[in-house]
Structure 1
Amino acid sequence: MARTEEIAGTGTGGGRFAGRGGWPAVAAVSGATFTVVTSEMLPVGLLTPLGNALRVSEGTAGLTLTLTGLVGAVSAPLLTPLLGRLDRRVLLCSMMALLALGNLLAAWAPGFGVMVVARVLVGVGMGVVWAVAAGIAVRLVPGDGVGPATSLVFSGIAVASVLGVPAGTYIGELAGWEAAFAVVAALSLVALIALAALLPPLPAEQVVRFGGVLKLGGNARVATGLGVVALLVTGHFAAYTYVRPVLEEISRVSPTMIGTLLLVYGVAGVLGNFVAGAGAGRFPRGTLLVIAFVLASTVGLLPLLGGSVPAAGVLLAVWGVSYGGVSVSVQAWLLAAAPQAREAVSSLFVGVFNGAIALGALVGGVTADGAGVEEVMWLGGGLALAALSVGALGRAPEGGRPG
């Protein structure tokens, strides 16, 4: 087995990683995560033209985002066990092909019904790719590189929020919303080719069964990690979904300046991904506790201290750094908590993460309509404090290196 791993480039104990694999393969997986998250979030900047073209309201058009997130949340823990015997290289390439098909169908969609089908396909591809990619770095690079490699894989998610969605919006303004979906379909095919060319054969390490996925929820360390990410992501999206009205009403930020501030937030998020990745590899609990505390403080203080553009900019940058580290830190926690079931625990992670996105947007909307946008910020900060409590009081893995 050790010889097979060394040849395939999948060992974790310092083999030579000959042939395909290594850092080029990690970069290809990062490109895949960038593509799936860009595909998921693409409708955010296209809601108005999309709704007009499909003859639905902007609220209905927004369901294209919610639906994809929910499908991804369900498909990750369900399909990963179902497809458990497939070579991971084959599985990733197949899901990228499905993603390309979904985006092409969206670009062609003559009506809302076809768009719904397209977005379901995108959700399936996104959920499975994210679940498999989340735990694959340990099979591509030697042990000392696993932490940085995992950070690089998750940087695709962070960069998508900075570049992917704005770029899609810009393409939509220049050439129409159909062109934006077509370009992302082409990007999916490029990612597919890169994965096929750079990944080594990656036979399934163990058969992932649905019952085994659910059983992991009974692992106290896994349950704590999932509880932390559920609260952090729900709180973040409850607040971040309404950050624009907060900036307009409290900070008196002009519409032209909002894009700049959100870019600052996004760039800070990419930085936070790598900073947290370096710490979470050895101290997953400590890293997550710091993230939760900073996130709670920043979001909660924005209505109180963000009354000027410079102050709002500083708070958004700190918010970005803290939230940017959530994904990679929780992933390090979960891989250390269940090193023998990396893909199963990653599928749970993806399911909880995407479910929390949908829940956060929902509770944030209810709070904003019923109480106001300031209260949404305090809700987000309160949920981050709850995550801090769960992380501090719950069971944690001893270290962040996956075994």
Structure 2
Amino acid sequence: MPREFYMKKYAYIGCLGFIAVITTEFGVIGILPQIAEYYKISIDKAGYLLSAFALVIALTGPFMTLLASGIDRKKIMLASIAIFLITGLVSSFSPPFWVLMLIRILPAFLQPVYIATALSVAVSNANDDEKNEFMSIVFSGVAVAMVTTVPFATWISSLWSWEYSFMIQTVISLIALVVIYFMLPSMPVKKKRSYGTQIKILTQPAFILSTAANFFMITAWFSTYSYFSDYLNKAKGMNESMISYMLFVFGIIGVLSTWIAGKMLNKNVTGTMAFFLSGTLIVPVLLYFSNDNLLSIIAVVGLWGFMYSPSFLNASAYMISSAPDSLEFANSLATSFGNLGVTLGTTLGGWMIITRGVEYNPWISFVFGALAFLMMIFRHFYEKRENLKLD
């Protein structure tokens, strides 16, 4: 086996688990109408299965990561994926809706813990100039899931019933669990950092500004991305078949851009963050001027997928760069505030659709993208001032 693969083995294992995690979190999106019909509830109530998941992550992620920081990393990853497996299995039996809601929320408590631990394990054998590339391998699980397992689970459910989507999620979690068990060695924490040492980063202005930049960036993207299909249908006149092709283009390009972002982050974290963040300003303008020209829309969607897909990776790397000694806790905060951004972006996007129309959603992206850039500028000048004090 090539040495390069051996060095990245832990990152690929983390990526596989990430695919299982994302398939469970977002796999429900495509089957919400079927769930609403089955339980005789409104679509917005069925949507709680997604929003409640994100809210639990946002509110509990950092605390759960702190509590788990002294436990063997292999055991943490196994426990996390096992909960996802149980969730998929129980959900596939179409339990009462309150049970479905409860069983959906449970893995959300450990999702940030899994992500933070998988990233920590991935970089455990990496040199400093390789860490961001290894992190990008783990995060590529998001793009891979959005192109493969998530649409596949939705397609299977359209052939039979929504329960089959959860069966697919269960199988993927089982595969990840087996791989982690047999291929990842025991990884006890040799030196546990005190809670106080880790929480200290919350008082650092550079970290606070980085967190705000992450929050605004994710809000910017999800104000439109959450309504991707609705936007292309109503604002650009695409039918369902064409939209499915657009999703495929979006996802395939996203896998490539996540890999490229990992290479770029090894050279310049701030520059990479700024480059991909610029998409929140460029894409809305191009969407506006593309009108209903098919080739123009395809090109813009491709650019959209390229600029959006590494956003969670870039946010984590940017936040860690301001707190390099608290990788796991910083990553859990990146996950939590990212999910807060998902919640706010989705909420604002829904409000815009009701009040003005979905064609105006990209301008929310523009506004919050500008706010994210402002936070980056503030951090730059703060760090510049601190460096001058040291000199």
| TM-score normalized with structure 1 length | 0.89
Q: Work out the CA distance in 2 between the residues paired with 1:58 and 1:263.
A: 25
- Report the more deviating stretch, 153-162 or 121-130: 121-130
Q: Work out the CA distance in 2 between the residues paired with 1:121 and 1:134.
A: 22
The 3 A distance-change label for structure 1 pair 93 and 397 is farther
Q: Tell me the amino acid that sits aligned with residue 258 of structure 1.
A: I
The 3 A distance-change label for structure 1 pair 258 and 140 is same
- Identify the residue that residue 164 of structure 1 maps to in structure 2: 149
Q: Work out the CA distance in 2 between the residues paired with 1:135 and 1:334.
A: 14
Q: Work out the CA distance in 2 between the residues paired with 1:382 and 1:363.
A: 12
Which consecutive unaligned segments of at least 5 residues does structure 1 have? Answer: 1-16, 399-403
Preserved CA contact (<8 Å) 2:220 2:280: no
- Which of residues 163, 167, 171 is equivalent to 1:182? 167
Preserved CA contact (<8 Å) 1:35 1:184: yes
1:77-156 → structure 2 map (5 Å cutoff): 77-156=62-141
DSSP-derived class of the 2:243 partner: helix
Q: % of aligned pairs identical? A: 25
Deviation at 1:212, TM superposition (A): 4.7
Q: Work out the CA distance in 1 between the residues paired with 2:366 and 2:190.
A: 40
Preserved CA contact (<8 Å) 2:10 2:121: no
Deviation at 1:112, TM superposition (A): 0.8
Q: Work out the CA distance in 2 between the residues paired with 1:306 and 1:314.
A: 12
Q: Work out the CA distance in 2 between the residues paired with 1:163 and 1:125.
A: 23
- Identify the residue that residue 264 of structure 1 maps to in structure 2: 249
Q: Tell me the amino acid that sits aligned with residue 168 of structure 1.
A: A
Deviation at 1:186, TM superposition (A): 2.1
RMSD: 2.2
| TM-score normalized with structure 2 length | 0.91
Preserved CA contact (<8 Å) 2:126 2:134: yes
- Which of residues 363, 367, 386 is equivalent to 2:371? 386
- Which of residues 225, 236, 239 is equivalent to 1:240? 225
Deviation at 1:143, TM superposition (A): 4.1
- Identify the residue that residue 51 of structure 2 maps to in structure 1: 66
Deviation at 1:73, TM superposition (A): 1.9
Deviation at 1:219, TM superposition (A): 1.8
Deviation at 1:146, TM superposition (A): 2.3
Query: Residue by residue, what CA displacement relative to the aligned partner does 1:197-226 show, whole Å, maximum 9, x if unpaired?
Result: 222322225435555554322222222221
1:250-261 → structure 2 map (5 Å cutoff): 250-261=235-246
- Identify the residue that residue 350 of structure 2 maps to in structure 1: 365
- Report the more deviating stretch, 207-216 or 197-206: 207-216
1:323 to 2:326 alignment = no
Preserved CA contact (<8 Å) 2:23 2:145: yes
- Report the more deviating stretch, 72-81 or 361-370: 72-81
Deviation at 1:110, TM superposition (A): 2.3
Which consecutive unaligned segments of at least 5 residues does structure 2 have? Answer: 385-391
- Identify the residue that residue 289 of structure 1 maps to in structure 2: 274
DSSP-derived class of the 2:20 partner: helix
Preserved CA contact (<8 Å) 2:14 2:119: no
DSSP-derived class of the 2:131 partner: helix
Deviation at 1:338, TM superposition (A): 1.6
1:195 to 2:180 alignment = yes
Q: List structure 1 segments (4+ residues) > 6 angstroms apart after TM superposition.
A: none
The 3 A distance-change label for structure 1 pair 112 and 212 is farther
Q: Work out the CA distance in 1 between the residues paired with 2:251 and 2:145.
A: 9
Preserved CA contact (<8 Å) 1:132 1:347: no
- Report the more deviating stretch, 52-61 or 29-38: 52-61
DSSP-derived class of the 2:26 partner: helix
1:268-279 → structure 2 map (5 Å cutoff): 268-279=253-264
- Identify the residue that residue 6 of structure 1 maps to in structure 2: none
> How many residues are matched?
381
Q: Tell me the amino acid that sits aligned with residue 352 of structure 1.
A: F
The 3 A distance-change label for structure 1 pair 306 and 211 is farther
Query: Residue by residue, what CA displacement relative to the aligned partner does 1:247-270 show, whole Å, maximum 9, x if unpaired?
Result: 223322222111101211111111
Q: Work out the CA distance in 1 between the residues paired with 2:60 and 2:8.
A: 28
Q: Tell me the amino acid that sits aligned with residue 57 of structure 2.
A: G
- Which of residues 16, 37, 40 is equivalent to 2:25? 40
Q: Work out the CA distance in 2 between the residues paired with 1:237 and 1:217.
A: 25
Q: Tell me the amino acid that sits aligned with residue 65 of structure 2.
A: T
Q: Work out the CA distance in 1 between the residues paired with 2:190 and 2:308.
A: 32
Q: Work out the CA distance in 1 between the residues paired with 2:225 and 2:174.
A: 31
- Identify the residue that residue 203 of structure 2 maps to in structure 1: 218
